[in-house]
Structure 1
Amino acid sequence: MTDLSSALPLDRRRMFQLAAVLGGSMALGERALAAPGGPSASAAPSLKVAPGTIRLNGNEYWEGPVEDGTDAARSAVARSNYYDPAGERDALIETVATMERVGADHVVPWAGSGSPLARSVVGFCSPQRGLVTADPTFEVAWMVAGYVGAPVAKVPLRASDQAHDVRAMLAANPQAGLYYICNPNNPTGSLTPMEDIVWLANAMPKDAVLLLDEAYLHFSHAASGMDLVRNGSNVIILRTFSKIFGMAGMRMGLSIARPELQARLMQYDGVIQTLQLPVPALACASASLRRMEQITARREQNTQTREKTAAFLAQRGLTVLPSAANMLMVDWGKPAAPIKAGFEAKGIAIGRSWPIWPTRSRITIGSPAEMERFCNTVERVVSQA
């Protein structure tokens, strides 16, 4: 194991700014995409939509938790006058540790995966040790890097398959403090081969960290990078229950890594944040993990609906990137903003575009009926935009 560089020294003003960002004053997720200059809760766009609107804009899952998870949460509500009367936090840690074959000291629960993502940037980046990501990808890491003054290298996805170009990522900053890979990637749903991820984990500086965001892993058949954690690599894996587990509003996520790496995420009241978790969400997460056959069924239905939608769009001459998650990136061949407004006028909220791809929109995969309505609306919206 390699010793990691010391934490970034911060003045009092910057410490208070980071405490506000990391402590839950803003939801570090889809709604946390703020104006240039850093995260701002007031500047972040809302995911609120009009009643009756089909929600294809936030990468949420269209169903709630599995039945056993809902039952466990309902039971926990009645015990929520106590902080954790039945040891739900420890039970979740033990469940995850057993499933993933890691030590319990490698598993930390959080209120979603946004906070440990941001904390990884704070813990391992500085003005001297930058951040390297793909472009496009989930932008929260970029925003937090701005707060710590860390340079950000954004490397275009590989043209052939939209995978992370890991060799170009290392070349973009051979001395970075943190390399971030979202696999499957958000917003593309594209997969990066595990051999490429392993290559980067071995080739990056010995005191750097690879942050592997597996928020969408269970939508795919892809392998996890958990073997890298098991063999002691400088790798942090993020998981969330906000996607296929249907718990976005309950806020529950995980970081899985060596204890030394987890300790760096605990700066700026991290211990308090990971201890003060809602008991119903903890109970729901544990119960859901014990029903993985139902999660597998969700994956198969999502795959069928996604591929049917992609085929429909391709038949109409629209470019759709291959995806292994609950999203599609669609190229309209014209600016995406009027397309988005056109769908909203017809009661369908679709996702945003990314600066590198201004003519493409991300479409979350909803229920079969919702996607049928989306498909039936496409031609009218595109022709009118």
Structure 2
Amino acid sequence: MSTVLDLVREDLRAFAGYKSARSDRLEGAVWLNANESPWSNAGNPDGSARRYPDPQPQRLRERLSALYGCDPGQLLVGRGSDEAIDLLVRALCRPGNDAILITSPTFGMYAVNARLHGCRVVDVPLVDESAGWRCDFDAVAVAAREQGARIVFLCSPGNPTGTLLPLEQVVSLAETLEGRALVAVDEAYLEYADGPSAVARIGTQPNIAVLRTLSKAHALAGERIGSVIADPALIDVLRRCQAPYPLPASCVALAERALSSEAQAATAAAVGTVTIERDRLARALASVPGVRCVYPSDANFLLARFDDPQAVFDRLLAAGTVVRDLRAAPMLGDALRISLGTPEQNAAVLDVLTAQVTA
């Protein structure tokens, strides 16, 4: 019977990694084991930055585990979702031999990490339909088997599509690819969606991994706190492949405060406002001449097609509003992505587009 460890590179299954001075949980009054300065920096008089941080801060991991509904042993925290993607590619894919699978248009870092690691990128594009973007799960399964993909990256809700993938089809794909590939579900925007996480299915389908982040709904993009949630055996391998001290202590302290009950209540209220604004802006944009299509979204942004996307981009930029130009992405030659701002900022976007039409 196969296990998730069968998907790990054979040369890394027993890899010990680097054992730092903070790897062992030792107790002492005088710490002389990490070659740290015994004096504080003049710019940091309280000495809080003098010591190396905990590689995997226990209290933060416990709070994140409670937030995401998993056991602490299933979670590894690191530098945003980007590090989690990199760790998965490094641990599972042999350079020059293995492949990952993506479904474009999607988050660009999956392909970037694979190419930096010398791995092939297999693309099974999403299907652009009137009701939104659809993943052809059957085609993904066939391509993954035929091309030897070790990881299938699924973004749900998708970036930049905003599409929430049906969880049962994700799980069915993982069942089909069991023993062949890991299905990594990037749930960076799930807080904005009305749908379940794949985390609860890891226990029965261990070739599922989930990526989560505090960068979006929790408004901590500058702190770079991300998590990968997976079978404990895979988490142990990823931990041994991770750099010794991934998270600055100051970032950890802020993240712990941001996960207090009061802060989470404020986050939930902000998410509620964003979803209301998302639906309102989508309806309003769809009625503006020159807007070809506004896709349904389960994220905190809208993807739209325009008759003249350059003119729209330039007009918004001249008004001081920066949106994401996606015309270089596959299948999106006329598209812009607009993040949801405050109600006032969203109204300003509409004012600019309406003025463009009437001018």
- Whether TM exceeds 0.5 here: the answer is yes
Partner Cα distance (1:96, 1:250) in 2: 15
Task: For residue 206 of structure 1, report the CA deviation from its aligned partner.
Answer: 1.1
Task: For residue 84 of structure 1, report the CA deviation from its aligned partner.
Answer: 7.2
Task: For residue 83 of structure 1, report the CA deviation from its aligned partner.
Answer: 3.8
The answer to whether the 8 A contact 2:199-2:209 is kept is: no
Cα-to-partner distance string for 1:307-365 (whole Å, 9 max, x where unaligned): 1111111111421000011110010023x344323321221101121232110111111
Aligned AA (1:168): A
Task: For residue 293 of structure 1, report the CA deviation from its aligned partner.
Answer: 2.7
Aligned AA (1:306): R
Task: For residue 279 of structure 1, report the CA deviation from its aligned partner.
Answer: 2.1
1:130 corresponds, among 93, 99, 105, to 99
Aligned pair in 2 of structure 1 residues 119, 341: CA closer, same or farther (>3 Å)? farther
Cα-to-partner distance string for 1:115-166 (whole Å, 9 max, x where unaligned): 1112212222344431111110001111121123322122222334313322
User: How many aligned positions are there?
Assistant: 315
Task: For residue 209 of structure 1, report the CA deviation from its aligned partner.
Answer: 0.8
1:54 aligns with none
1:172 aligns with 143
User: SS of the counterpart of 1:363?
Assistant: strand
Aligned AA (1:262): I
Partner Cα distance (2:110, 2:358) in 1: 36
Give the TM-score taking structure 2 as reference length: 0.79
Partner Cα distance (1:209, 1:249) in 2: 29
Alignment of 1:103-142 (within 5 A): 103-126=71-94, 127-142=96-111
After alignment, is 358-367 or 204-213 more displaced?
204-213
Partner Cα distance (2:83, 2:164) in 1: 24
The answer to whether the 8 A contact 2:217-2:267 is kept is: yes
User: SS of the counterpart of 1:206?
Assistant: coil
The answer to whether the 8 A contact 2:144-2:152 is kept is: no
**RCO greater where, 1 or 2, for CA within 8 Å and sep 6 or more?**
1
2:24 aligns with none
1:360 aligns with 335
1:370 aligns with 345
2:134 aligns with 163
Task: Find out whether 1:331 has 2:305 as its counterpart.
Answer: yes
1:260 aligns with 233
Aligned AA (2:140): M
Aligned AA (2:287): Q
User: SS of the counterpart of 2:276?
Assistant: helix
Partner Cα distance (1:196, 1:183) in 2: 12
User: SS of the counterpart of 1:131?
Assistant: strand
1:302 aligns with 274
Task: Find out whether 1:4 has 2:6 as its counterpart.
Answer: yes
Aligned pair in 2 of structure 1 residues 375, 258: CA closer, same or farther (>3 Å)? same
Percent same amino acid at aligned positions?
26
The answer to whether the 8 A contact 2:174-2:208 is kept is: yes
Cα-to-partner distance string for 1:182-236 (whole Å, 9 max, x where unaligned): 1111011111011111111111141411111111111112110011223351122
Aligned AA (2:336): S
The answer to whether the 8 A contact 2:102-2:152 is kept is: yes
Task: For residue 101 of structure 1, report the CA deviation from its aligned partner.
Answer: 4.3
Partner Cα distance (2:349, 2:189) in 1: 22
Aligned AA (2:352): T
Aligned pair in 2 of structure 1 residues 137, 93: CA closer, same or farther (>3 Å)? same
1:277 corresponds, among 244, 247, 250, to 247
Task: Find out whether 1:288 has 2:288 as its counterpart.
Answer: no
Residue segments in structure 1 that go unaligned for 5+ positions in a row: 11-76
Alignment of 1:124-273 (within 5 A): 124-126=92-94, 127-160=96-129, 161-174=132-145, 175-231=148-204, 233-266=206-239, 270-272=242-244
Aligned AA (1:165): D
User: SS of the counterpart of 1:362?
Assistant: strand
Task: For residue 82 of structure 1, report the CA deviation from its aligned partner.
Answer: 4.9
Partner Cα distance (2:205, 2:51) in 1: 33
Partner Cα distance (1:97, 1:320) in 2: 35
The answer to whether the 8 A contact 1:88-1:282 is kept is: no
Cα-to-partner distance string for 1:273-305 (whole Å, 9 max, x where unaligned): xx3412232223233333333222112100111
Pair member with larger Rg? 2
Partner Cα distance (2:312, 2:237) in 1: 43
Partner Cα distance (1:190, 1:324) in 2: 6
Task: For residue 96 of structure 1, report the CA deviation from its aligned partner.
Answer: 2.3
1:28 aligns with none
User: SS of the counterpart of 2:222?
Assistant: helix
Partner Cα distance (1:256, 1:374) in 2: 37
Structure 1 vs Structure 2 CA RMSD: 2.7
Alignment of 1:333-348 (within 5 A): 333-334=307-308, 336-348=309-321
Partner Cα distance (1:302, 1:103) in 2: 30
Give the TM-score taking structure 1 as reference length: 0.74
The answer to whether the 8 A contact 1:88-1:279 is kept is: no
Aligned AA (2:288): R
Residue segments in structure 2 that go unaligned for 5+ positions in a row: 13-44
The answer to whether the 8 A contact 1:350-1:361 is kept is: yes
User: SS of the counterpart of 1:212?
Assistant: strand
The answer to whether the 8 A contact 2:152-2:184 is kept is: yes
Partner Cα distance (1:230, 1:98) in 2: 16
Alignment of 1:95-106 (within 5 A): 95-106=63-74
Cα-to-partner distance string for 1:87-119 (whole Å, 9 max, x where unaligned): 992101112233444332211111211111122
User: SS of the counterpart of 1:113?
Assistant: helix
After alignment, is 241-250 or 277-286 more displaced?
277-286
